[in-house]
Amino acid sequence: MRCLSPMALAWLWWRGRKDPGYRANLDQRLGKIEPAPASIHGLLIHAASVGEVQAAQPLIAALRTTWPDHAITVTTQTPTGARALRKHWGDALQHLFFPVDTTSATTRFLDRLQPRLVVVIEREVWPEWLLQCQARAIPVALVNARLTERSARSYLRARGLMTPAWRSLALVAAADADSAKRLIGLGVTSGRTVVTGNLKFDQPGHPSGANNPLPHTNRPMVVAGSTHEGEESALLDAWPTLLLQHPDALLVIVPRHPERFDEVAKQVEGRGFAFARRSRNETPDSDTSIWLGDTMGELGHWYARSSLCFIGGTLIPIGGHNPLEALAVGKPVLFGPHTQNAAEVYGALARTEAGRPVASADEAILRASEWLSQPDALHTRGQAALAFVAAQQGSSASTLDALTELWVPLDPHQLHAVIEHKDGGTTTWHNPLLLDDARASHAFDPPGRDAVSLATGSGRGQAQQLKLNGHEVVLRHYRRGGMVARFNPDRYAGSAPRDSRAMREFSLLRWMKARGLPVPAPVAARQQSVGKNYTADIIVGMLPNSRNLVQRLAEATLSDAHWLAVGTAIRTLHDAQVFHSDLNAHNLLLDSDGQAWIVDFDKCDVRSGGDWKAANLERLKRSLRKERDRLPRFHWSEADWNLLQAAYTGKSPLP
């Protein structure tokens, strides 16, 4: 993939000759993204192109009822997919281009966005991407998954590469039972596979009335949507046959790819048809027989205005495009023999009055002429189209139910907005729920006399308790340890703000609070550039009436319930796959109610597996032994550790 990526980027640049969108944001294809602070540790939805974006629409709408918009990012592979997203959602959702599947590109992308759940639409399975997600304990769900027999055979030829990728998926929500069976055959875990139906059935129909932007006409219209090379010419050659019976009819051709618009226009002109182009805002007159839909994002509106539709990609071996957009607005459809991309949908459709398979363009035009001659029967077919779609709706709700299992007990609404301010070389982030904009700019001013210095474990930290915006908070300045601190106490190698210690801890705390973990609330974070280096500070919520284990044990023994609370808190952290790089007795707190808390998440992260968890606990035990040997009085024994361990393993001796 590293060898192929230059060719992939060159291909995108070449495609950009006709569509400049392919040349935009090429750095994002290498993982060099600049995500909004509020989107970090959020939800990522990947929809490769227009079809996947359209399929994702009902699911995105459902997810927005649970996730805040600022925590949702949508990636696409194509600029047409990006435009479809923008057309439907505007700027409500963050859009990024998906990276090429190399180690460096996917690592950069995931390190910067750090999503906590990835939802992939239909079949975008990239091995390196899945490997990197698995290493970060990021669950990946493949939804609306569709797999043809032909595609399954091609994947089997690369089973050595793809089998680990299929097995890494946390959830597969298949569009149909046949796809589910094929995916399990490729290596997807059967216990993680459910059949939720096709999301495209849940797409709302386009308005056919005043909100439709297309010019109105009373002439009968046959819309050929998403056509490919070879289909337009065949339909144009057959069209005069229909005009003999219906001379006022219009053939609307909407090519699948925008770069072919001019080519199709030349085909129409070369055959001597009088035609109008939508891109020029031309409207048909009495002599016009062809209307070229050479704009993007209006296919659903063309279908809504039509009398009947032909679905492109079915007369040639493409496999057929989505017929549901036409059916959802009550239009019967004609389609060719090549329907393997959605064989189950087309097969069911052929058994109703809503759809009819044809062998050629000539037959398609002949059937269209027959349908136009029978208006009552055509209306009945339209009602059958609506009934066909209604009978199979509900996939978005089923998919959302399945996805919920991957983020429980996450409360996405706790993923609050993040406000960013930049002033020269200083960048600050703050939580608007705890700090308003007016006070944010002064949050890191030198503390006043009422500030209280807090004890820290190693002596390196510099933490002070103060009141800010009516809240008791802790301001902590990041300081170095070891020999390097003798000549460089608090400066770190220059980096983008999002990669600084303060912002990374702020983002992690924000997600952990949404997860309900026993950690303080993030209030604000700051990075200040100092030449080629930076210094960093963070403000977190004060945990009232709390003291760390070292302070408590220096005075008295702890009760069994206290040790059990500490063990339970650590287990909660580890169950969420959070690795604490410095789990010690100074970073574990107990409040007056016996609640245990964990603090100081500098250089911590979310990681997969479980081998590191035992080492994390062992670090804590070493810190307790160290304090016992260092302090003249320290009320801790190995028996206390057994209580902590019992709570951690779920074998608490207390009821």
Residues involved in catalysis: 52, 582
Determine the residue type at 627: E
Burial of 492 (0-12, 13-18, 19+ CB in 10 A): middle
Cβ 227 vs Cβ 290: under 8 Å: no
Sheet of strand 117-121, all strands in order from the earlier edge strand to the far edge: 94-97, 72-76, 43-46, 117-121, 140-145, 171-174, 193-195
501-536 exposure pattern, b = at least 16 Cβ within 10 A, e = fewer: bbbbbbbbbbbbbbbebbbbbbbbbbbbbeeeebbb
Q: How far apart are CA 509 and CA 521, in angstroms?
A: 7
Q: How far apart are CA 433 and CA 239, in angstroms?
A: 63
Instruction: Give every CB contact of residue 270 below 8 A, 6+ residues apart in sequence.
Output: none
Instruction: Give every CB contact of residue 127 below 8 A, 6+ residues apart in sequence.
Output: 101, 161, 162, 164, 165
Mind giving me the DSSP string for 481-524? -SGGGGT-SS-EE---GGGSHHHHHHHHHHHHHHHT-S-PPEEE
The alpha carbon of 36 is separated from its chain's Cα centroid by a whole number of angstroms, namely 14
Cβ 64 vs Cβ 94: under 8 Å: no
Q: How far apart are CA 35 and CA 95, in angstroms?
A: 9
Cα dist from 537 to 93, 438, 478, 490, 521, whole Å: 30, 19, 6, 10, 15
Query: Tokens 């978005």 map to which residue?
Result: 396
Compute φ and ψ for 564, nearest 5 degrees.
-65, -35
The DSSP secondary-structure symbol of 551 reads H
In the Cβ-directed half-sphere of 132, how many Cα atoms lie within 13 Å?
24
Cα dist from 529 to 107, 114, 118, 490, whole Å: 25, 24, 33, 12
Burial of 544 (0-12, 13-18, 19+ CB in 10 A): exposed
